[in-house]
């Protein structure tokens, strides 16, 4: 899946309205203490300027992306409801600014960090990726984000940091899905420190050249493109470095079906369906499904993370 193809502006965004580079920096959360301190509100455009002419996402696929409509109206975000259109319908008034993230655990720089501080001073060239994403379906999504490992290193995790635990906001007033016991709220997810530090793993702040929409996990969400969608925790408010494997929400809900490692493995069936083939969102109901690729096509990059691990038992 890794390519070296140049990504052109028209491949990143279908919008015809462009903002200048400074507006992009503000909207993407690249504000610094040197004077750029305000952020654009979620939903406002981020830039798709001529700077994108030279942008090349290091792990971007050359497959064409799904449409803006596909990506923003067909979602799993149970905090806003379990139907695929519930997040779009129920998240429009969600307040994602101002935003803070608590960092704790096995690190030397714990604390409460504002959104601007979490994102930090990354360049546009660090931010353009087009990953294939798999949940119960597959999409190709032009995410805008930074490598999660770059973010985590700023908190100086120590040698006891073996795992990273993430937590979603718990706010039933804003998130109507949390008023029902679908899962144990708040939602919790986790990665090994090696998975979290891998350059494919992203902390995402945008999509399709725009600020990340509420229904897609604004203002901060995780993307681990060789894993299933329930590793894509959204609206993150806590990051904890821990020495022990965290108990995640889907494991707690149904450990028989949802294991901690949760890799895309076409050779291991889900207890209720085969995972050998997948259907791309946007394909017709009569179109043939395509073979599911090991690690979602990123085996060359990530297989070494699981050397010696039985992925049938550790699913």
pLDDT tens per residue, range 167-213: 999 999 999 999 999 999 999 999 999 999 999 999 999 888 788 99
Q: Check: CB of residue 100 under 8 Å from CB of residue 114.
A: yes
Question: What stretches of the chain adopt beta strand conformation (E)?
Answer: 100-105, 111-114, 131-134, 138-141, 143-147, 163-168, 188-192, 202-207, 210-211, 221-223, 236-242, 277-278, 290-291
Enumerate residues 6+ apart whose C-beta is below 8 A from 315: 259, 261, 262, 263, 265, 268
Task: List the domain boundaries for the chain.
Answer: 9-306
Is the pLDDT at 281 greater than 80? The verdict is yes
State the burial class of residue 76 (Cβ atoms within 10 Å of its Cβ: 0-12, 13-18, 19+). middle
How far out from the chain centre does Cα 300 lie? 21
Confidence category of residue 136, pLDDT binned at 50, 70, 90: low
Identify the three-state secondary structure at position 62: coil
Q: Mind giving me the DSSP string for 174-229?
A: T-GGGGSTTS-SSPEEEEEHHHHHSTT-EEEEEETTEEPPGGGTSS-EEE-TTBBG
The fraction of the chain above a pLDDT of 70, given in percent, is: 77
Mean pLDDT, the chain, integer: 80
DSSP structural state of residue 157: B
**Considering the entire predicted model, what is its pTM?**
0.82
Say how far apart CA 239 and CA 109 lie, in whole Å. 12
Quote the Cα angle for 138-68-183, to 5°: 55
Confidence category of residue 65, pLDDT binned at 50, 70, 90: confident
In order of 22, 80, 101, 163, the CA distances from 124 in angstroms are: 11, 31, 23, 29
Confidence category of residue 310, pLDDT binned at 50, 70, 90: very high
Q: Check: CB of residue 13 under 8 Å from CB of residue 58.
A: no
Of 249, 92, 101, whose CA–CA distance to 174 is shortest?
92
Identify the three-state secondary structure at position 172: coil
pLDDT tens per residue, range 5-31: 333 322 332 332 223 222 332 333 322
Say how far apart CA 214 and CA 286 lie, in whole Å. 32
In order of 31, 61, 204, the CA distances from 141 in angstroms are: 25, 10, 11
CATH superfamily for 9-306 is Oxidoreductase, molybdopterin-binding domain (3.90.420.10)
pLDDT tens per residue, range 78-114: 999 999 999 999 999 999 999 999 999 999 999 999 9
pLDDT at residue number 5: 39
């Amino acid at each position: 899946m890794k390519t070296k193809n140049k990504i052109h502006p028209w491949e990143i965004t279908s919008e015809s309205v462009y903002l200048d580079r400074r507006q992009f920096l503000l909207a993407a959360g690249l504000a610094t203490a040197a004077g750029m301190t305000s952020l654009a509100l979620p939903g406002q455009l981020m830039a798709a300027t001529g700077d994108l002419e030279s942008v090349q996402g290091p792990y971007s696929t050359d497959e064409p992306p799904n449409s803006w409509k596909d990506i923003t109206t067909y979602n799993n975000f149970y905090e806003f409801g379990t139907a695929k259109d519930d997040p779009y319908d129920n998240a429009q008034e969600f307040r994602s600014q101002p935003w803070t993230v608590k960092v704790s655990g096995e690190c030397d720089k714990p604390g409460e960090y504002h959104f601007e501080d979490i994102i930090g001073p990354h360049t546009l060239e660090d931010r353009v990726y087009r990953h294939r994403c798999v949940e119960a379906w597959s999409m190709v999504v032009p995410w805008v984000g930074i490598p999660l490992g770059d973010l985590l290193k700023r908190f100086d995790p120590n040698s006891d940091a073996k795992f990273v635990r993430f937590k979603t906001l718990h706010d039933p007033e804003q998130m109507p899905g949390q008023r029902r016991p679908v899962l144990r709220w708040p939602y919790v997810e986790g990665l090994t420190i090696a998975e979290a530090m891998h350059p494919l793993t992203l902390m995402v702040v945008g999509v399709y050249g725009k600020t990340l929409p509420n229904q897609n996990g604004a203002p901060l969400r995780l993307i681990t493109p060789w894993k299933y969608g329930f590793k894509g925790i959204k609206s993150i408010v806590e990051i904890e470095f821990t020495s022990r494997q965290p108990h995640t929400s889907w494991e707690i809900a149904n450990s028989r079906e949802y294991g901690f490692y949760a890799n895309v493995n076409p050779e291991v069936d889900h207890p209720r369906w085969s995972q050998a083939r997948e259907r791309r969102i946007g394909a017709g109901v009569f179109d043939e499904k395509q073979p599911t690729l090991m690690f979602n096509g990123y085996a060359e990059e990530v297989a070494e993370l699981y050397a010696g691990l039985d992925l049938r038992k550790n699913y």
